[in-house]
Structure 1
Amino acid sequence: MIAGLKQIPITIITLVLFASATQAQTIKGVVSGKDGQLPGATVQCPATGQGATTDLNGNFTLNAHATGKIKILVTYIGHESRAIELDVKKGINDAGIIQLEPGSQVKEVLVKGTMAPSQLKALNIKKNSLAIMDVIAADAIGKLPDRNAAEAVQRVQGVAVARYHGEADAATVRGTPFAWTSILFNGNRLPSANVMGSRNSVLDAVPSEMIQYVQVAKAITPDMEGDAIGGSINFITRTSPAKRQLNVSAAAGYNTFSKDGTYNGSIVYGDRFFKNKLGVMVAAAIWNRQWGTDAFDVTYNTGLADVKQKNSISTVMLKRYMGKRQTYGANLGLDYTFNAGNKIFLRGLMDKFNDIRPVYESYIDYNNSQYQYNYRYSHYQTVLNGAELGGEHQLSPKVKIDWTLSNYYTKYFLETPPTNSNKGLPISTFRQKINGGFSNLSSDGKRYWDFDSPDGKGGMPGAFDPGLRDKGEVMDASKLLLQQLVIAQLDTREEDKTAQLNFRYNLNSKVHLKAGVKYRHKDRSGMYGSSIVYLAGASLGIPQSPALVPLSQLQRTDFPMRGGFFKGLDGNYDAYAIDPLTKQQLFDLLDTATLRKNGFMNVTSKTNPTNIYNGTEEVTAGYAMAEIDASEKFKIVAGVRNEYTTFTLHGTKAVTAGTPATVTLSPVSVNNTYNALLPMVHLKYSISPQANVRAAYTRTFVRPNFSDLTPGESVDNTKNPITITKGNMDLKPTFANNFDLMGEYYFRNIGLLSGGVFYKKIKNVIFSNRVNYQQEGQNYTLTQAQNLSDAWLLGMEAGINKRLDFLPGFLSGLGVELNYTFINSEVKPTGTYTTTLPNQSKHLFNSILFYERKGVMVRLAGNYRGASVESINQQLGRDFFTYTDKNFTVDASATVNITASIRAFVELNNLTNEPLKVYMGNRNRVVSNEWYGSRGQAGIRWDIIK
């Protein structure tokens, strides 16, 4: 296969040389408007019925069956149609740039508006696409207060995002688990450095300024990546424009939680040289912001043998994050046009995301009747770099090829502290005994929320009271003793090398054939759950150990109060805001000499290596499809894709046995292969030039996560039952048969009414399974991912984007964007109960009220995501599932055209300070409740050259 991969460039060169010598009757050109190239425009030859659609850069290729005078008609939503006459000769004919003028119904909006041009581009791409998809254009992203790639897609109908400390970092389509949505960059699967081994790509490292278009495909076609049960989200990076452009932006803002400033800036430059043959696009962005979060976290005694006590409270933690996030991005796009039939391009991307977050954790430990205080300094780093080289070549009137070679690399890692050879996340732990105990324990001696308590005795959700018998026994720096130091390790890397070749053959004016091959080689390594642990000798009861060091005797700094502590909860919690160590003091404590001086011993688990793995995955894919114009109004797209996957992973097996317990380590490798045959059919019927009905059947799949396949295995024989944790190399991919029926109507004044239904029948759903069994009289507990059950998902969606220009005067600038998605699903992890799919919300809703007139644009946006199951406890049942609660955020933005080239803007996020809540079984049984505050910024965008 590698040898075949090396032959692809040679094949390409041969085909290009052949192309230059081939004479054909082909018309190529560019369709443009007042705001640049127009993607999704329709170009037709009425005499022959031949037609084409412009690509994302406004380019089209139209085959001609005759020479001489030929008329072509160009149409585009919101623009006047234009007919032109060409004198077609043998070979490739260059029609040049065909300029369209705005239609009378939208001329005022297009000339003076700030949002309409990008909406027109998105609607035209959607209207003419073969797949069922939604589209966002770059200008539209810039008009919303969405600063990374995940936030940019949250407004799309049927898309849900996950939020991490106030910012979206992952996206999924149609309520499926996040790993079931394929995240693409320029059509290629984006590598994932997800910490949990998931294939879901984290998107907070990608600034929204790097993106030209976002295509959200809900029913894919055979030429798209097939591992997409939910759908695919394709982020298309910026490419060179038809003419020179240069714009810059700068903004500064404020975070109401951290009480600190933010700033961001960007520059975009594009130009063409050498008689327009060489195109260049450079974009760069920086976004620095202070941020903060208060998180109220609760853990429960779900591991207790007594079923009635499993929902009793183990710990309550008041945690504050107060940190800095830095996002840097740069995008390069080059293309060179040899002639009308041949061009090559190069794209490059460099993104870096620093998440620096000191964390302050105050615990009440009910089981051990003690306080615990942790201080940790986290500096998470994400790198995403990549480049791709490609070309497009018209070999004859009937044959066209395109090819790409790409290499993308991502890494998610920790590299502190600098004083220790073991890099990771340093954590210091202090404990203080609560001698007086607690007054509000239940009759069984456990702490509950009052609604769970056997006798109604316990705490009240929403207003936390620790229930101390001695109210004066508060956390005290002189009594908090240093007992543990930990370096949590994390280093996940993934690199994809990809080669792809596509052929398009026009059999006749009604039938177009397309086929292609793709090869991807993935290298992956992972380290998660591995920790270096040091315990103080005195805490272990070792004689003559140095006394435990109190927090008060170490170098400390002021606690970051920033206007208050846990204002989201009723009551006063300032007593838990303990002045922490300085960052340098934390690092110094982990110095080898200091560890020895303070009597700390390395008690790191010998099974740590089981959390480390590396390996490769190779995917060979091919597809064939036909686009058939069955009539002027009816189009059929049918084909099949096949993806063959082989992987090999290397890890470590650990067996713990004997008295005293000893750990035996041994290397272990796993490998497997599987095939995915994916037939697909799309039907598109144009009721009128403004209305389409679409139907589709697609078969898609998702590969098992690396964390589920890992060869690492841990066996602990010292426990009863013996516990075994291991991966499962025999996991089967999850497959889905998908059925879609959608309708869409395009308003003449820039807008859309759409709706439809969808159904997915899913086979071999993967869950983490825990099994208790006996063998030769010994009890065992095995935790392992399994293909446990089949599932189904049924949904409907509807949306409207409408400008209310029928209203008089000032009110004519009003408009609305509303979309709603209802989703229901069912999966049966065991034979005793059913549940919905993980991450699946029943209700998704977006509402945007906007005003756009005479250079003024104001948008008020609401985003609602209903409650969803996040984790399933198969042994204990539904009362012990964890859920993310419903969430509704309100954002706003506004722009004003100061001059024809300078625009002022304001962006506001989370205006209502909406918290993010996770609960177990019952909404009152809180697992986590986080508050972030609001943030906003104001700035200037200057189109220096446009």
Structure 2
Amino acid sequence: MTADNKKLSLILCATLLGAVSAKSQTIKGVVTDKDGQLPGATVMAPVSKQGSSTDLNGGFTLNTQVTGKVKILVSYIGHDTKELELDIKKGVNDLGTIKLEASKQLNEVLVKGTMVPSQMKALSIKKNSLAIMDVIAADAIGKLPDRNAAEAVQRVQGVAVARYHGEADAATVRGTPFAWTSILFNGSRLPSANVLGSRNAVLDAVPSEMIQYVQVAKAITPDMEGDAVGGSINFITRTSPAKRVLNVSAAGGYNTFSKDGTYNGSIVYGDRFFKGKLGVMLAGAVWNRQWGTDAFEVAYNTGLADPQQKKSIATTLLKRYMGQRQTYGGNLGLDYTFNKSNKIYLRGLMDKFNDIRPVYESYVDYNNSQYQYNYRYSYYQTVLNGAELGGEHQLSSRLKMDWAVSDYYTKYFLETPPTNGVKGLPIATFKQKITGGFSNLSSDGKRYWGFDSPNGVGGNPLSFDPGLKNSAETMDATKLTLQQLVIAQLDTKEEDKTGQINFKFNASSRVNLKAGFKYRHKDRSGMYGSNAVYLAGAALGIPQSPALVPLSNMDRTDFPMRGGFFNGMKGNYDAFAIDPITKGQLFNLFDTATLRKNGFMDFTSKTNPTNIYEGTENVAAGYAMAEIDATDKLKVIAGVRNEYTTFTLHGTKATTAGSPAVTTLSPVTVSNNYNALLPMVHLKYSLNDHANIRAAYTKSFVRPNFSDLTPGESMDNTKNPIAITKGNVDLKPTFANNFDLMGEYYFKNVGLISGGVFYKKIKNVIFTNSYTYQQEGTNYMLTQAQNISDAWLVGMEAGINKRLDFLPGFFSGLGVEFNYTFINSEVKPTGTYTSMLPNQSKNLFNSILFYERKGVMVRVAGNYRGASVETINTALGPDFFTWTDKNFTVDASATVSITPSIRVFVELNNLTNEPLRVYMGDHRRITSQEWYGSKGQAGIKWDIIK
């Protein structure tokens, strides 16, 4: 045990010893209104100035030093304050359910509106939170067309999302790299099966219907996971309600790109049994949609020696996806209250995401003067399953304990039917020589875009012209011959088993102490980049090989035109829309006998095992903190968290040497241990009942990605300089000192205006670095992740949520939500240039115009993310950084209440058909641009029991 953990143990022991002799009374209860539990309600004893707030299930615990007659006040945003006079006995006093009434001025809105109850919950939780955080409640998530967990959180101030083929799949806080944001499920780090080894969890497998609350913490407290340089996003799954509920929804829709239908449905049931002791919550959701994308991609000759020619074009690619996505989710919540002091709960989650992608790829290869056509059939699958068992126990009038054990498992894999005994993604590659050459080459014989060309020859990306000297020499199925077959393999899985215990001790009327421990055991395995490769002997010039087979001789099917091909670009590209082989034909090509018949030989790389690893990571964490009411208005939260990490990874080292080259493999194991001591201080000053000022200093960190730690190593002695690629077990965690100053004012008519500034000083930023060195007269090129830089990040954010109910009549239903975040950062990957942090946009904003009145709700939402650097090429410099361009999407929704229980709705996504663009260095030097159309659906929601 480390010295820091020993200190925490002594604090905890002192807390427990103090509790034995403690003399105080406990008041417990649950605050509700007509719609259910109220989280974030304030419970105050005015005489003693002691207060508490309700948890996410509406429950509260309030300690008092007195017995006899005591007056308490219960208040909640948008509700009348309730005054209760109690006769307090020694020990635990259970008040049962305390029901509040909506205030008269909001009653009409509450009855007929659709967003106010949800906003009251979110704002109440935010107002009473110890951390600096924003909150979304389930009802609000359902009021915009946000169908997975990442899309649900994109509306939060300071949050940015990454989009993959039109759907958000990852989120980050305050513009930091995605792996620097901690993704939590019910307070524990969610395991990640990210294919590239990042610790950032992919969220497209989680239907938004499974989520009850989302808490976005921008300055964490010691009782939260500490690996959160950007912040943390905590998804809280549904729990049992205070009364029976049953609601269903069903919808059908249309995708303008795929010209196909979509559907989704959900059911939520909750109830209480055995005189309210047993609570049950069941939720299920399904979302099935056809989708499509056109992607124009460009690869550049960055490996050439000449600095100018590094910007020349190697290949252009017109790629079409036309697939199907299926999301299934199930959520179980159980809780059982034994008595007023003891409660246990169980949460379970089962999610599955299938991404079926037939892909059609047409290349122009300028370096080899040829066409290339690929057809592949991908079946990506993501599984997220888990369960958590926990309990809450009032051990004495002053001491409360809670505990939980959990097991969450996620897997991301390819399981296309076995081809030649190997599961993976089958790809068939056809090639056709361009005999006439190109007319748009530059003076140095290379193809450029016009602005890069030494003599201005080359044209523009989005009015692409292949530049054939012979315009009739187009792609031809009779000339495209099968020359390569590949099975790409991918299988990444991670499982976290966690146990935790927390104690909270009421030391005095103004001081609460809290301490706890958490232990997490992680098992992880990864396989990515291991491809089985088969090449045609005739294409390699091997004598007596069977003739190459043309595409026209195979079983084929129609190309999915679906209303046009690359309509987002200027020009006609139908000549690249080649009818592909059938799925069955693709699979049959990998049959052993067929491979032999067509003259294919196995050229699978001997270094494939270096892409496979497995290992474990163990984290022992402890914390101690104090919540101090320094004055009636000032609250201080101070404490420290310590996380000790050990990991061990097993992999393979490959060495290629000799003439002819021979590759030898050997097992290798790496391990490392490191500690993170994280002090934190929060100040919360209540100017009045409606306004808070918050300040915080926190220290947080982020662990290195597994892909950077992998023990896999390859050395190729046949190259000059000798090429070495390997992981780096000596990587240090990235640490950040974070400073926050925020202010918030809560409107009486359920709204908020907030703003503030923040600063992060970041140490040991990790980059993948390539550099040459000489050892004993031999030259080497090493590619490896390293701690090579420190960084800083500064920003400001502001937002308003305001109902314009001061307007007359019809216009009183109008309202606005707007939030804006400005972020600037600097990192110096080498001594010669600087950059912003990866994934960081300088400008983020959300704008929502809404109308709610008499059962009608309409919302139009815009989401903007400014340009962000995605990869930093430390060897070549800023001209070769890749950027995601600015992106602005517009979504809309409308709901009409037909009866108090039945609502019909319409949801529309990406109304402006905003493309997603990536470029290298210069905005005009496109690396990819994709279009995925608009989509929408209409449906019905029925609160059968509410």
TM superposition score normalised by structure 2? 0.98
> Would you say the 8 A contact 1:648–1:672 is kept in 2?
yes
> Would you say the 8 A contact 1:24–1:92 is kept in 2?
no
1:184-233 Cα distance to aligned partner (Å, 9 max, x none): 00000000000000000000000000000000000000000000000000
Task: For 1:258-269, list aligned pairs within 5 A.
Answer: 258-269=258-269
> Would you say the 8 A contact 2:64–2:509 is kept in 1?
no
Percent of pairs with identical residues: 81
Name the residue aligned to 2:470: 470
Task: For 1:160-559, list aligned pairs within 5 A.
Answer: 160-559=160-559
Matched, 1:914 2:914: yes
1:98-134 Cα distance to aligned partner (Å, 9 max, x none): 1111112321111110011000000000000000000
> Would you say the 8 A contact 2:401–2:501 is kept in 1?
yes
Name the residue aligned to 2:739: 739
Distance 1:52 1:421 in 2: 62
> Would you say the 8 A contact 1:352–1:382 is kept in 2?
yes
Distance 1:137 1:437 in 2: 60
Name the residue aligned to 1:579: 579
Change (3 A) 1:691 1:23: closer
Distance 2:938 2:93 in 1: 48
Farther off after superposition, 90-99 or 449-458: 90-99
Query: How many aligned positions are there?
Result: 934
Distance 2:155 2:106 in 1: 24
Distance 1:685 1:106 in 2: 28
3-state SS, counterpart of residue 218 of structure 1: strand
What letter corresponds to residue 841 of structure 2 in structure 1?
S
3-state SS, counterpart of residue 552 of structure 1: helix
Distance 2:714 2:768 in 1: 16
Matched, 1:878 2:878: yes
> Would you say the 8 A contact 2:914–2:931 is kept in 1?
yes
3-state SS, counterpart of residue 738 of structure 2: strand
Name the residue aligned to 1:619: 619
Aligned-residue offset at 1:20: 14
Name the residue aligned to 2:9: none
Aligned-residue offset at 1:21: 15
Distance 1:448 1:829 in 2: 28
Change (3 A) 1:266 1:23: farther
Name the residue aligned to 2:5: none
What letter corresponds to residue 307 of structure 1 in structure 2?
P
Aligned-residue offset at 1:496: 0.2
3-state SS, counterpart of residue 107 of structure 1: helix
3-state SS, counterpart of residue 470 of structure 1: coil
1:490-546 Cα distance to aligned partner (Å, 9 max, x none): 000000000000000000010000000000000000001110000011111111111
1:635-656 Cα distance to aligned partner (Å, 9 max, x none): 0000000000000000000000
> Would you say the 8 A contact 1:434–1:473 is kept in 2?
yes
Name the residue aligned to 1:855: 855
Distance 1:888 1:941 in 2: 29
Aligned-residue offset at 1:421: 1.4
Q: Which runs of 5+ in 1 are unaligned?
A: 2-11
What letter corresponds to residue 110 of structure 2 in structure 1?
L
> Would you say the 8 A contact 1:64–1:397 is kept in 2?
no
Distance 2:21 2:700 in 1: 41
Distance 1:475 1:131 in 2: 60
Task: For 1:55-134, list aligned pairs within 5 A.
Answer: 55-134=55-134
Distance 1:447 1:563 in 2: 31
Distance 2:599 2:936 in 1: 49
Distance 1:279 1:308 in 2: 68
Aligned-residue offset at 1:841: 0.1
Name the residue aligned to 1:781: 781
> Would you say the 8 A contact 1:377–1:425 is kept in 2?
yes
Aligned-residue offset at 1:23: 9.9
> Would you say the 8 A contact 2:157–2:821 is kept in 1?
yes
Distance 1:634 1:140 in 2: 31
Q: Which runs of 5+ in 2 are unaligned?
A: 2-11
1:2-33 Cα distance to aligned partner (Å, 9 max, x none): xxxxxxxxxx9xx99xx999997211111111
> Would you say the 8 A contact 2:223–2:623 is kept in 1?
yes
Matched, 1:898 2:898: yes
Name the residue aligned to 2:941: 941
Name the residue aligned to 1:694: 694
Structure 1: which 4+ aligned runs deviate by more than 3 Å? 19-24
3-state SS, counterpart of residue 559 of structure 2: coil
Distance 1:906 1:738 in 2: 42
Matched, 1:629 2:629: yes
Farther off after superposition, 116-125 or 410-419: 410-419
3-state SS, counterpart of residue 944 of structure 2: strand
Name the residue aligned to 1:4: none
Distance 1:20 1:280 in 2: 35
Name the residue aligned to 1:44: 44
3-state SS, counterpart of residue 811 of structure 1: helix
Distance 1:537 1:391 in 2: 66
1:783-814 Cα distance to aligned partner (Å, 9 max, x none): 00000000000000000000000000000000
Distance 2:307 2:924 in 1: 19
> Would you say the 8 A contact 1:417–1:426 is kept in 2?
no
Aligned-residue offset at 1:88: 1.8
3-state SS, counterpart of residue 648 of structure 1: strand
CA RMSD in angstroms comes to 1.6
Name the residue aligned to 1:8: none
What letter corresponds to residue 348 of structure 2 in structure 1?
G
> Would you say the 8 A contact 2:25–2:398 is kept in 1?
no
1:564-586 Cα distance to aligned partner (Å, 9 max, x none): 00000000000000000111110
Distance 2:259 2:420 in 1: 33
Name the residue aligned to 1:606: 606
3-state SS, counterpart of residue 514 of structure 1: strand
Aligned-residue offset at 1:34: 2.3
Distance 1:141 1:420 in 2: 46
Aligned-residue offset at 1:62: 1.1
Distance 1:461 1:614 in 2: 42
What letter corresponds to residue 725 of structure 1 in structure 2?
T
Aligned-residue offset at 1:330: 0.2
Aligned-residue offset at 1:720: 1.0
Name the residue aligned to 2:594: 594
> Would you say the 8 A contact 1:644–1:674 is kept in 2?
yes
> Would you say the 8 A contact 2:419–2:426 is kept in 1?
no
3-state SS, counterpart of residue 122 of structure 1: helix
> Would you say the 8 A contact 1:291–1:322 is kept in 2?
yes
> Would you say the 8 A contact 1:633–1:687 is kept in 2?
yes
> Would you say the 8 A contact 1:894–1:906 is kept in 2?
yes
Change (3 A) 1:392 1:550: same
> Would you say the 8 A contact 2:22–2:397 is kept in 1?
no
Distance 1:776 1:463 in 2: 52
Aligned-residue offset at 1:365: 0.2
> Would you say the 8 A contact 1:23–1:92 is kept in 2?
no
1:458-490 Cα distance to aligned partner (Å, 9 max, x none): 122320000000000000001000000000000
Aligned-residue offset at 1:836: 0.3
1:60-85 Cα distance to aligned partner (Å, 9 max, x none): 11113222222110011111000012
> Would you say the 8 A contact 1:22–1:91 is kept in 2?
no
> Would you say the 8 A contact 1:329–1:350 is kept in 2?
yes
Matched, 1:565 2:587: no
1:32-70 Cα distance to aligned partner (Å, 9 max, x none): 112211000000111211111000010011113222222
Name the residue aligned to 1:767: 767
Aligned-residue offset at 1:247: 0.3
Name the residue aligned to 1:730: 730
> Would you say the 8 A contact 2:680–2:696 is kept in 1?
yes
> Would you say the 8 A contact 1:804–1:814 is kept in 2?
yes
3-state SS, counterpart of residue 926 of structure 2: strand
What letter corresponds to residue 940 of structure 2 in structure 1?
I
What letter corresponds to residue 341 of structure 1 in structure 2?
S
Change (3 A) 1:118 1:848: same
What letter corresponds to residue 536 of structure 1 in structure 2?
A
